[in-house]
Amino acid sequence: MLGFGKKKTQLPVDPIEAQEARQVKEVSEDFQKGVTALRDFIAPSSLVFSSNFFQLGTRYARAYYVYGYPRQVYTGWLSSIINLDEVIDLSMVIQPVRTEVILNNLRKKVSQLEAGIQIDTEKGRVRDPAKQAAILDAEEMRDKLQVGEEKFFRFGFYFTIYANSADELEVVSHRVESILGQQLVYSKPASAQQEQAFNSIVPQFSDQLQIYRNMNTGAISTSFPFTSADLTQDNGILYGINMHNAGLVIFDRFSLENSNSVVFAKSGAGKSFTIKLEALRSMMFGTEVFIIDPENEYQKMCEAVGGAYLRLSLNSSTRINPFDLPQVVDSEEADNALRSNLITLHGLMRLMMGGAQVEMQGGGGAVMPALNPAEEADLDSALIETYAKAGITNDPLTHGATPPTITDLYDTLLHMGGSGPQLAQRLRKYTSGTFAGIFSQQSNVNVNNQMVVFNIRDLEDELRPVAMYIVLNFIWNKTKADKKRRLLVVDEAWQLMRFEDSANFLFSLAKRARKYNLGLTTISQDVEDFLASRMGRAIVANASMQFLLKQSPTAVDVLADVFKLTSEEKKRLSQFPIGQGLFFAGQNHVHIQVIASPSEQELITSNPSAQQAAAEQDIYHQTLTAASNRSTPPQQQKEDLAAADPADGIFNMPPDPKVGPGPTRPTSQDVAHRKSADLTSGVMASTHSDTLLPSSGEIAVSHREDKKP
């Protein structure tokens, strides 16, 4: 018997082993059912579909498809939906189509349209413009497809909107449909197909609706979804939150063509808060900050960061000499240092010799110059002679000598011919009169600090523009000495814009600041007066970054004309809440919400109620700390602290034998009634307050209404 192969014999399976294998498999399956997978975390608690909406957990949603488009679509037609302040999921399905198939279809379509037009002509019917437009479009598309300039695609556009209630869903649905309808883009809810529409919108590439529109490359490109303004950079500081897309506005102002900025807002809208926040965060990158503070708003922040706070007043010891020359390293700048300072002093002298008074009394009409041409010539000669007497000439080697003062200029004018004595009399109040001392002595200001604040609140109104002018010149000389990255903040800049000389000087700073790595920030609440000035508009034009916070209705039209705002932006500008506004940087601008951490908020807030609350909290903490450090047993300390009344700061102290019996000490039942202890963390918490004091030894005590005598 011939055998071509042996049949393999299967070994008998042990029934016990087979049963054990089945048990192991069942146990493994049961175990896997109890394991929490990723889908368990991301899946909603429930999913209920209705005819024209569905519920995703506790939220309501409605899926749409777009079925109609205009003859031409333009770039950014989706931006109104993308930047809408609603939760919307967008899904686009783009499927390429072979060019030869489209060419054949277009050829047939053109033949049909031409035949239809010919039949209408033979029957004497009125010309149909729609057919002729379709022929032109088809012929143009055939030409572009033939040379490979265009491709053809099938485009499906679906979206889902979400809301917290059924009524809110209807409102949002109507809003979205109206926005799209205004652009002749028509959409419908996927009635009785909400589940299929939801599956089509979820990013799993499963188009179960298959509602398409044929589009070429140009039309498809207009639907690019990433059109919202984005001001996020890899480096820079955080300015706030982009309210269009909830992104972070991280920006470096020194990356622009110039680093100047302007801030316009009505009183209380948050302009000083915004600039303080920018200054604090800029310091973390090594930027030096100079601030002119007219209202004592920056003192707390300056002291917190270890800055120099210089108070300028007639009674203060701070002195600034306007005749100081900059110690310039650049040889070309050094040659022109004296001449540049002489030009600056001309403007200052005009301001000091009656320019400020003339401007304030002018009432907006024609203003006579403070000095006539003859007086200008005599003043120029006196300034040059005054520097020469101090040994300072155009030679840069002489610029290290001790500079003269206004008193020296007064003496020179008094003893020269022409109009010198008259000019000296007009200058006398700054040398030996009412305003003597503050600007007529050698400088004693040390600005070798990362933050320097010049406080001019205590200066008289007549002296304030002069002081701002001199301080700006002093900072400018410091800036020219070494080109470090610096910020110069001029708060309430409208005070400088009232006077022609000071406005010209501020404008010259704005033009030249970029060369010296300086960023000039001008803040003003008087928008109309600031922009009514020719120099004011020029300063805005030379600022690459602008902040527009909440404005008064009268200022909105002026700003809309200057910044080319849309009608929606104009409407919002007068309705912004505190801390929100428009942030312009270069060619982009966004709706921004300025945010600060609790620590920053405490340092920079200028809200009187918030400052008072913080001061009271500090006093209360200091009182509790002092009481906890007394040399008494720990248990006795707790009982004493429990008797403290934070409302009036009075302690029920133990009796003093020298004074006599004092108030009765609270019993242990009272103490237990008035405080609750967290034994796990060691923190004593107030029973009537949500505030916790997480430090060892500090105990927050509840306020008892039923005090014992």
Q: What is the DSSP string of 371-382?
A: S-HHHHHHHHHH
Report the 3 state secondary structure along 243-266: CCCCEEEEECHHHCCCCCEEEECC
Which residue in 485, 506, 508, 511 sits closest to 495, CA to CA?
A: 506
* Residue that has been written with the tokens 């004296």 in this structure: 338
pLDDT of residue 80: 80
Q: Are 419 and 375 in contact (CB under 8 A)?
A: yes
Q: Which domains does the chain have, with CATH numbers?
A: 47-221 (no CATH), 253-318+446-605 (3.40.50.300), 330-444 (1.10.8), 607-686 (no CATH)
Q: Which stretches in the chain have pLDDT values below 50?
A: 1-3, 356-366, 631, 637-709
Show the tokens assigned to 307: 């800055």
Distance CA 478, CA 481 (A): 5
Can you tell me whether residue 620 is helix, strand or coil? helix
Show the tokens assigned to 419: 């109009």
Can you tell me whether residue 90 is helix, strand or coil? strand
Contacts of 683 (CB under 8 A, 6+ apart): 692, 693, 694
Q: Are 644 and 651 in contact (CB under 8 A)?
A: yes
Q: Are 599 and 305 in contact (CB under 8 A)?
A: no
CA 507 vs CA 289, 391, 469, 521, 549: distances in Å: 19, 32, 12, 12, 23
Q: Are 642 and 699 in contact (CB under 8 A)?
A: yes
Q: Which amino acid is at 554?
A: T
* Residue that has been written with the tokens 């002119």 in this structure: 292
Contacts of 372 (CB under 8 A, 6+ apart): none
Q: Are 533 and 539 in contact (CB under 8 A)?
A: no
> What's the pTM value of the predicted model, to 2 decimals?
0.59
Question: H helices then E strands: how many in the chain?
Answer: 27, 20
Which residue in 490, 445, 495, 435 sits closest to 310, CA to CA?
A: 445
Tell me the CA end-to-end span of the chain in Å, nearest whole number. Answer: 123
Show the tokens assigned to 86: 């609603």
CB atoms within 10 A of CB 263: 26
pLDDT, tens digit, 9 for 90 and up, residues 595-607: 898 888 888 887 6
Q: Which amino acid is at 681?
A: S
Show the tokens assigned to 708: 């014992």
- Give buried/exposed letters for 223-239 (b at 16+ CB in 10 A, else e): beeebebebeeeebbbb
Q: Dihedral of CA 180/182/186/191: which sign?
A: positive
pLDDT, tens digit, 9 for 90 and up, residues 534-591: 888 888 888 989 899 988 888 888 888 888 887 778 888 888 888 899 998 877 888 8
CB atoms within 10 A of CB 668: 9
pLDDT of residue 54: 94
